[in-house]
Chains A and B, each alone.
Chain A
Amino acid sequence: MGSRNRVPVGSRTVATRRRVLGMAAGMTTTFALARAGMAHQAATPTTGWSFTDDKGVTVELDQRPERLLIDVNAAAPLWDFGIRPVGVFGWNASETGDFGDAGGNIDPTTVEVAGNASEPVQLEKMAAVDPDLIITVTWTPDNPNDYWSIEESLLPQVQDIAPIIAMSATGRADVNTERFAELAAALGADVDTPELAEARERYEAAKRDLESTAAERSDLQVLFLYVDSELLYIANPPDWADLAFYQAAGVNIVVPDAEPGSFWEELSLEQALTYPADIIMSSSRPGTVPPEEFATHPSFGAHPASQAGQVVPWNQDFIMSYQGMAAAMEHLTTTLNESEKVT
């Protein structure tokens, strides 16, 4: 009622929308611009440590950073590449150790937690971790001030704690996965282990399977979305690195009427039938309608995919490692194989 009462709620609403949207506005120039920055990597000094991130920012340190504080979305892929952070933070972090689907294989008992969904950046806890380097992802590589989980107003204070590296979460998931491998190697991880070789084989096999299944089942239309109690968000495949990757593999993904860089088309729940599809991949973030409730949902109950029981979870916080992407692709391949044409 009073505006005072709404403060925690309002900020949370904004925060959640940010979290849902996965990025800030203003992605005007192309992704290639940010990539161009990487070309300068060769010009780094021979002593000390340096890495040029996907915003084109080069971080130079006297020695290779040991104490890493990483946003959960970046920590999950880096974990698979053998990096063990001292601490994690960000929208998907939690003191309970439950990092949701974003957390991947991270062992929560081994890391400090310096953020959570309501306060992704906890400055004092982050400072207490005393990191040499902070790593997060970015959904807008061309926007110098937009870091995932780090509100722009807090950026200077976070930068005071340690330099920040941002890895692209947009573009193409396979490209980003290789970038995470590069970063892991630069941070001293052994990326030539038998486990990683095996993971890579599994990833390659998953990709081949997905491509062949997608070719066989190109008649199946797949709709990626996020739906909560009030609104419906249709994922725009070119903005989502995982969906862009699946599209390239031949998966027939519904493309909504969305501006490039907007990540979603936002719709009223009344518009549930705007995009018919055979399969619905529904975001597994907290607060979303779970797949089993689609059949009885007031508006989605009438969607052909719901009626056919072909609604499955989608990890919106896809993990850009061989293990993470292999699992995601296997899930999609299985879904394509098990689904029927219903439109």
Chain B
Amino acid sequence: MSVFTSPTIPNNVPAERETSRFQRPTRAAGLLILLGVGVVVALLSLRFGSLTISTRDAWNGLFDYNSEVYEQTIVRSLRLPRTLIAVAVGGALAVAGTVMQGVTRNPLAEPSILGVSQGASLAVALSVTYLGMSAPGQYLWMAFLGALGAALLVFAVGSAGKGGASPVKLALAGVVISALLSAWTSTLLLLNEDTLDTVRFWLAGSVAGRDLDILWTVSPFLIGAVLACIFLGHQLNVLSMGEESARSLGMNTTRTRLISLFFVILITGAAVSVAGPIGFVGLATPHIARAIVGADYRWILPYSFAIGAILLTAADLAGRLATRPAELQVGIVTALVGAPFLVYLARTTRVAD
């Protein structure tokens, strides 16, 4: 954290001045409540689903597992992985989205605006097509590299020319590079249907049927980057005052953006590796958090994590309960909820310059 803090940056920027509405104890209590809600939703996600399972079996599936009991196997081998993945991916993508919106000062920003998920998708498609990889454990590292490569490319293009990486230039570069990477992936998939069959499932964006091992593999990156991002609050507050103000306060805005984006890349690459591209959470959650807790990123970030985890877990649970005995992919549920929300957002929010 100290790497960001320049001694000349005042500690008390406008967003950090406490208002009567948002006192520190209230915010802390709110965060605790949200974390509690998150735990409850996660437990509900273990307890309820397509199959009717008793509370006892759900409990035993976790703590006193008997592999002979089918219901316990379901809890342990199907519901536990998807719940953990939904919590981790939902929370992490929400934090990444918040950082993206702070860094680019664009309320419609989310991780994919930097081409990160497109880069990951392309890397997977390439490694399946040309390197013959077929297991998620093999191509997850490629997804990671792809995410990193895409973001570096976007940043290189966005930083070129006078004035360095401005939000608008970054966003434009992101749009262009994303389109390019998507087109390349589509071309690969169209030309090679064997690739298609292998990565189709991965590209669909889901928390169901995913391998928990992949989550464990990426968890050091995920946890490290999420924690780092949560401590970025002060820097984002300074950035939120605008480029000129932030610089006049002594912040090296380019360096701050680069470091922030590095963590966003880590988070998104890891999340995409585990669950494929999942939209909406990274976009919507920061706004919900802001509505609850105000403009201070030091609070928005942890709130975003809790809300994102709750949202994705709840969406997955809703998808399982809405169409019993079948189920809806979480990506479909988030899209159904996300589209109207995006319209609402576009109509009510003034996009920062």
Contacts and interface: CB of A to CB of B under 8 A. Distances in A.
A230 B277 contact: no
Interface of B: 49-51, 70, 73-74, 77-79, 110-113, 116-118, 121, 178-179, 182, 185-186, 189-190, 193-194, 196-197, 200-201, 203-206, 208-209, 268, 272, 277-279, 282, 320, 324-327, 329, 331, 335
Contacts of A8: 182, 185-186, 189-190
Contact of A302 (B70, B111, B204): B70
Interface string A1-44: 11111111100110010000000000000000000000000000
Interface string A258-292: 00000000111111011000000000001100000
B77 A268 contact: no
Contacts of B209: 228-230, 269
Contacts of A2: 110, 112-113, 117-118, 178, 279
B74 A299 contact: yes
Contact of B201 (A1, A287, A301): A287
Contacts of B112: 1-2, 5
A9 B200 contact: yes
A218 B268 CA distance: 54
B78 A269 contact: yes
B51 A271 contact: yes
B111 A271 contact: no
A130 interface: no
Given A8-B186, A9-B200, A231-B327, A3 B279 contact: yes
A271 B320 CA distance: 12
Interface of A: 1-9, 12-13, 16, 94, 96, 116-119, 228-231, 266-271, 273-274, 286-287, 298-299, 301-302
A28 B327 CA distance: 25
26 contacts: A2-B110, A2-B112, A2-B113, A2-B117, A2-B118, A5-B112, A5-B118, A5-B277, A8-B182, A117-B196, A117-B197, A230-B201, A230-B204, A230-B209, A230-B327, A230-B329, A269-B50, A269-B78, A269-B208, A270-B49, A270-B50, A270-B79, A273-B70, A298-B73, A298-B74, A301-B73
B110 A1 contact: yes
Given A1-B282, A299-B78, A274 B113 contact: no
Contacts, number: 124
A228 B186 CA distance: 22
A12 B205 CA distance: 13
Contact of B325 (A94, A96, A271): A271
A9 B193 contact: no
A-B pairs, top 3 by smallest CB distance, nearest first, are A1-B112, A268-B50, A229-B209
A1 B194 contact: no
Contacts of A7: 182, 186
Nearest to A119: B190
Nearest to A273: B70
Given A1-B117, A268-B51, A268-B326, A298 B77 contact: yes
Given A229-B209, A299-B74, A267 B50 contact: yes
Given A13-B204, A269-B78, A6 B186 contact: no
A229 B282 CA distance: 25
Contacts of A270: 49-51, 74, 78-79
Most chain A C-beta atoms within 10 Å of own C-beta, residue among B182, B200, B203: B200
Most chain B C-beta atoms within 10 Å of own C-beta, residue among A5, A94, A116, A266: A5
Most chain B C-beta atoms within 10 Å of own C-beta, residue among A8, A228, A270: A270
A204 B194 CA distance: 37
A268 B193 CA distance: 27
B326 A231 contact: yes
B279 A1 contact: yes
A237 B116 CA distance: 45
Nearest to B272: A1
A4 B182 contact: yes
B326 A5 contact: no
A268 B49 contact: yes
Contacts of B208: 229-230, 269
B185 to A, nearest CB: 6
Contacts of B203: 9, 12
A1 B78 contact: no
Given A117-B193, A270-B50, A271-B50, 18 more contacts: A1-B112, A1-B116, A1-B268, A2-B118, A2-B178, A5-B182, A5-B277, A6-B279, A8-B182, A8-B189, A94-B193, A118-B196, A229-B201, A267-B326, A298-B78, A299-B73, A299-B78, A301-B73
